[in-house]
């Protein structure tokens, strides 16, 4: 027995399907729900297919009527799905834009620009002046061996000069360098003369803190080795440097002693009516040259070591070295 289906039945089913579909599509919240609806309505096992399946049971002349009606429905549902998909996507985008929006007219928070610490600018200025005189820059480690810090600089064990440079020792015998002079040795190991080099860096001494002493401070080392260098070259270089740094101030050389230079001198500048010691210097001791495998009959040179804090304090009229290390912005912002 075959079940007969009437044209009216199928038409009514299609109309119902259309109304149902329109409602469901309008209510779909997102793309996934719409896709689910599309499969349920227009898919192979969907509701439209079911109606069309029953079409074969209609009398022949009625079939195209339902076929046409079904096509109209299919197009309508496709269009509704596409429109709704566009709408939910636009809504999602609008929501995201609203959530991520920036108020570009909002007043900004002030982030104050930083600037160089006065000690760093002092080092840069010193390096600059020596660069202009043809010097290269080099650096060495702050943790040194006894050899580089003392022995190679003609300060053997038990030499009284060691007493003036007591420092901090590591368990393995290494130490925190007491001056930048070891960079002279390190540089000469890797660079045959002629040499013109400066080496800025941090140095350490076992010193109590007061207005003029700090256990950590900074030096710049100067070294020139060449044929025919003598004390006049040292004097000329140091004077030219000091006059560039401080302006045209009186400069005086005083005889002094350092184990690694001979003769040695300390240099003073006249600043606000009194003589201020600013650096040590001298002609590189032949013992240091020989230790580096250089023939002192052929090569000679001069060296100097200057305390950066002293230069910085004189330049800016700072009365207490501790101000340079306490990071008080009320002080630092003046520079
Ligand atoms: N290294 C010495 C110190 O820290 C300073 C110094 C003196 C360095 C004379 C030199 C020099 O290169 O020639 O006390």
Structure tokens at 96: 């995201």
Query: CB under 6 Å to ligand 1: residues?
Result: 179, 181, 221, 258, 261, 280-282, 303-305
In a domain, 106, yes or no: no
What pLDDT score does 219 carry? 98
Question: In this structure, are residues 300 and 226 in contact, taking their beta carbons and an 8 Å threshold?
Answer: yes
What pLDDT score does 59 carry? 81
91 and 187 within one domain: no
197 and 92 within one domain: no
Domain count, the chain: 2
By most ligand atoms within 8 Å of CB, the mutation choice from 135, 155, 181, 202 for ligand 1 is 181
Tabulate helix, strand, coil % of the chain (nearest 5). 45, 20, 30
The tens digit of pLDDT for each residue in 5-55 reads 788 888 888 899 899 999 999 999 999 999 999 999 988 998 888 888 888
**Ligand 1 atom, smallest distance to 306 CA:** 5
71 and 217 within one domain: no
In a domain, 315, yes or no: yes
Q: How far apart are CA 120 and CA 116, in angstroms?
A: 6
What pLDDT score does 3 carry? 57
Question: In this structure, are residues 305 and 282 in contact, taking their beta carbons and an 8 Å threshold?
Answer: no
By most ligand atoms within 8 Å of CB, the mutation choice from 179, 277, 289 for ligand 1 is 179
Q: Average pLDDT, stretch 145-168? A: 93
Q: How far apart are CA 185 and CA 148, in angstroms?
A: 7
Range of the domain at 49: 7-100
93 and 225 within one domain: no
In a domain, 295, yes or no: yes
Instruction: Please list the residues that pair with 270 across neighbouring strands.
Output: 275
Q: How far apart are CA 221 and CA 25, in angstroms?
A: 82
In a domain, 81, yes or no: yes
Last residue in a domain, options 100, 135, 166? 100
What pLDDT score does 53 carry? 84
Buried b / exposed e along 195-207 (16+ C-beta atoms within 10 A): bbbbbbbebbbee
254 and 193 within one domain: yes
Looking at residue 228, the DSSP 8-state letter turns out to be: T
The tens digit of pLDDT for each residue in 41-51 reads 988 998 888 88
**Ligand 1 atom, smallest distance to 222 CA:** 12
- pTM score: 0.69
């Amino acid at each position: 027995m075959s079940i007969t289906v009437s044209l009216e039945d199928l038409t009514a089913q299609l109309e119902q399907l259309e109304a149902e579909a329109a409602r469901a599509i309008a209510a779909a919240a997102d793309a996934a729900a719409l896709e689910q609806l599309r499969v349920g309505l227009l898919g192979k096992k969907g509701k439209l297919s079911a109606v069309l399946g029953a079409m074969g049971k209609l009398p022949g002349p009625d079939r195209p009527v339902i076929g046409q009606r079904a096509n109209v429905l299919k197009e309508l549902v496709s269009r509704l799905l596409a429109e709704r998909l566009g709408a939910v996507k636009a809504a999602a985008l609008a929501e995201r834009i609203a959530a991520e929006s920036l108020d570009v007219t909002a007043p900004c928070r002030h982030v104050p620009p930083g600037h160089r610490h006065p000690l760093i600018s002092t080092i840069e200025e010193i390096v600059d002046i020596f660069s202009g005189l043809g010097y290269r820059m080099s650096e060495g480690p702050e943790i040194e061996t006894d050899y580089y810090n003392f022995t190679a600089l003609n300060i053997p064990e038990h030499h009284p000069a060691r007493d003036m440079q007591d420092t901090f020792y590591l368990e393995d015998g290494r130490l925190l360098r007491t001056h930048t002079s070891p960079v002279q040795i390190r540089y000469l190991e890797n660079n045959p003369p002629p040499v013109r080099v400066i080496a800025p860096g941090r140095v350490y001494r076992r010193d109590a803190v007061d207005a003029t002493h700090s256990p950590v401070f900074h030096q710049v080392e100067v070294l020139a080795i060449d044929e025919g260098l003598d004390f006049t070259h040292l004097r000329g270089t140091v004077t030219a440097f000091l006059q560039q740094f401080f302006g045209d101030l009186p400069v005086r050389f005083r005889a002094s002693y350092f184990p690694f230079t001979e003769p040695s001198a300390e240099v003073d500048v006249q600043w606000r009516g009194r003589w201020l010691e600013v650096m040590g210097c001298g002609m590189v001791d032949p013992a240091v040259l020989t230790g580096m495998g250089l023939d002192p009959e052929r090569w000679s040179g001069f060296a100097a070591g200057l305390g950066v804090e002293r230069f910085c304090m004189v330049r800016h009229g700072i009365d207490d070295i501790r101000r340079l290390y306490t990071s008080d912005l009320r002080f630092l912002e003046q520079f």
